Amino acid sequence: MIDFLWNLGSFVIALGMLITAHEYGHFWVARRCGVKVERFSIGFGRAIWRKVGQDGTEYVLAMIPLGGYVKMLDERVEEVPDELKDQAFNRKSVWKRIAIVAAGPLANFIFAIFALYFMYLIGVPSLKPVIESTQLNTPAAQIQVDEPMLITSVGGNTVRNWEEVTYALVGHIGDPEIDISVSPLSRSSDYSDTETTPRGTHYTLDTKGWQFDPEKESPITSLGLGIFRPEITPTLGLVSPDGAAAAAGIEVGDTLVALNGEPYGEWDDFVYSIKSSPNQAVQVTVRRDGEQLQYKVIPQARENDQGLMEGVIGVAPTQAEWPENMQLQLEYGFIESFGVAADKTWQLVVVSIKMIGKLVTGDVSVKNLSGPISIAQGAGSSANYGLVYFLGFLALISVNLGIINLLPLPVLDGGHLLYYFVEVITGRPVPEKIQEIGFRFGAAMLLMLMSIALFNDFSRL
């Protein structure tokens, strides 16, 4: 329940900020184009707060925080007094109408830049993209890894952490090949984190048959890249309160000694044995305060992704500290942060557009569409990690909101822009009847996409 309320609160805050930025873009440009704005509303439905400003605009905060709108004076919607007709939206030139409509998505991009600006100003703790192996019979198998290797570029773009590697790989889904550059980690101190020219050995990976399910794996591991992880120790760092281990008496800080009388070797072997014993008693030997203790544990059964039952006992090990030369603090100065934030926003725009294109071509399944539930979970988890991660999440969603609104669906800003550009070319407005047909088609398409996204959300719960 607490997680639900946290996710919901984070979602409302995030969506409220993004909607406010979007609608304020329309509002600000409309005012400067001489259009009278009658209402600026954040949310739909019954108003929980309202105020009429000195400018005559009614500012509203409504009950349902799933959108917002700016109501402008428009003769197509209602009767307009003669003395106010010069302030009506429909009376403005086509270029002013284009500017007003485009200002909403543009405000989302500007918001993303500012969110990332403060993120980089505060500083983002990151991990360098270091691999320690590659898997056989995968696209990455050709990469030679004799020591920890640092990924320096993907697709010709310099990458500094695993997040950037992930975004870069996602942008190449469906491509027949991907260029990756790697360099020995031992030489990474010779390079600057802000370098734009790829360094190291270059590989062209054959990805014609590369496919992965983002719900089950990351593009990194599915490509065959073995992510470096610090050594796993046998000391337990987590014991779930409602798990089988806790019920048996095992505690955080206990050190694994043996399983069914066999000495503990590797964590993966221990996990395999537990998974292979659903609802079957196992004997776990641990060391606590210098004393060895034995516990009878019955792993709880759960269904895995393949539909098979496996055992779980609700424990996790501790890991050694990350080596200092693999840690990275992405932090920039007051001026430099603007350039970095703008560049990052552009990268997000490019990746997002590529993903939409791959949805159209079928390279990416519609199962990957996410709706409000997934966004709420993302908002909650990012806020839980801290302000800098929440700012990064806001930037990502803001960019996506801006791009989605630019899609040429008549109910969206992009659809209105399409009509206005047709008007620029033909010299006359698109007929009302054609616009009405377009709005109905756009509403049906948007409803279909939202239905798919919601279905995907519920299937992931």
Residues 190, 326, single domain; the answer is yes
Tell whether 310 and 325 lie within a shared domain: no
3-state secondary structure of 213: coil
Is position 294 within any domain? yes
* CA distance between the termini of the chain: 14
Same domain, 198 and 243: no
Rounded to 5 degrees, φ, ψ at 74 are -155, 120
Q: Which ranges of the chain have pLDDT less than 70?
A: 1-4, 6-8, 187-199, 213-216, 305, 362-385, 452-461
Task: Look at the block and give the residue holding tokens 């030997």.
Answer: 285
Do residues 153 and 206 both lie within one domain? yes
Q: Count of domains in the chain?
A: 3
Confidence at residue 98, expressed as pLDDT on a 0 to 100 scale: 94
Q: How far is CA 331 from the centre of its chain?
A: 21
Which domain covers residue 217, as residue numbers? 126-230+321-330
Which residues lie closer than 8 Å to 455 by C-beta, 6 or more apart? none
**4 is a domain residue:** no
Contacts of 420 (CB under 8 A, 6+ apart): 94, 97, 98, 101
Question: What does the block give as tokens for 403?
Answer: 């791009």
Residue 54: inside a domain: no
421 and 381 share one domain? yes
Q: CA-CA-CA-CA torsion for 341, 346, 350, 352, nearest 10 degrees?
A: 50
Residues 179 and 223 in one domain: yes
Question: What pLDDT score was predicted for residue 197?
Answer: 47
Reported as half-sphere exposure (CB side, CA atoms, 13 A), residue 41 has a value of 19
Q: 316 in helix, strand or coil?
A: strand
Assess whether 275 and 370 both reside in one domain: no
Tokens coding 407: 């899609």
Domain assignment of residue 81, yes or no? no
Write the DSSP assignment of 56-75 as a string of letters: SPEEEEEEEEEEEEEEE--T
Q: What is the pLDDT of residue 360?
A: 73
Q: Which of 241, 261, 260, 259 is nearest to 250 (CA)?
A: 241
What pTM, to 2 d.p., does this model score?
0.78
Same-domain pairing of 170 and 204: yes
Question: Both tokens of residue 30?
Answer: 């409309």
In a domain, 5, yes or no: no
In a domain, 357, yes or no: yes
Catalytic site includes residue 23: yes
- Tell me the sheet residues that pair with 17: none
List, in sequence order, the alpha helices (H) in 293-386.
Answer: 336-361, 372-385
Last residue of a domain, one of 319, 341, 372: 319
Same domain, 447 and 459: yes
The CB-side HSE value for 168 (13 A sphere, CA atoms) comes to 24
Tell me which of 265, 288, 319 is where a domain ends.
319
Q: Decide the pairing of beta strands 291-297 and 282-288.
A: antiparallel
The 3-state secondary structure of 110-152 reads: HHHHHHHHHHHHHCEEEECCEEEEECCCCHHHHCCCCCCEEEE
DSSP conformation letters of 368-436: G---HHHHHHHHHHHHHH-HHHHHHHHHHHHHHHHHHHTSS-TTSHHHHHHHHHHHHHHSSPPPHHHHH
Alpha carbon distance 14, 18 (integer Å): 6
- Alpha-carbon gap, residue 100 to 86, rounded angstroms: 16
Q: Could you tell me if residue 107 is left (phi over 0), alpha (psi between -120 and 50 degrees) or otherwise beta?
A: alpha
Asked, for residue 68, whether it belongs to a domain, the answer is: no
Q: Do 173 and 278 lie in a common domain?
A: no
Distance separating alpha carbons of residues 85 and 70, to the nearest angstrom = 18
Read off the DSSP letter of residue 320. P
The 10s digit of each residue's pLDDT in 45-59 is: 888 899 988 888 899
Q: What angle, rounded to 10 degrees, do the helices at 387-405 and 94-122 form?
A: 160
Do residues 326 and 188 share a domain? Answer: yes
At residue 94, φ and ψ (nearest 5 deg) are: -60, -35
pLDDT of 382? 66
In a domain? residue 46: no
What is the separation of C-alpha 460 from the centre of its chain, rounded to a whole number of angstroms? Answer: 16
Among 305, 330, 355, which residue terminates a domain?
Answer: 330
**Contact predicate 189/325, CB 8 Å:** yes
Rounded Cα distance between 148 and 22, Å, is 45
| Burial 395-427, CB ≥16 within 10 A → b, else e | bbbbbbbbbbbbbebbbbbbbbbbbbeeeeeee
Give the relative orientation of helices 94-122 and 2-32 as an angle to the nearest 10 degrees: 140
Are 177 and 315 found together in one domain?
no
Question: In one letter, which amino acid is 107?
Answer: A
Take residue 283 and report the two structure tokens written for it: 């004997």
- The CATH number assigned to the domain holding 168 equals 2.30.42.10
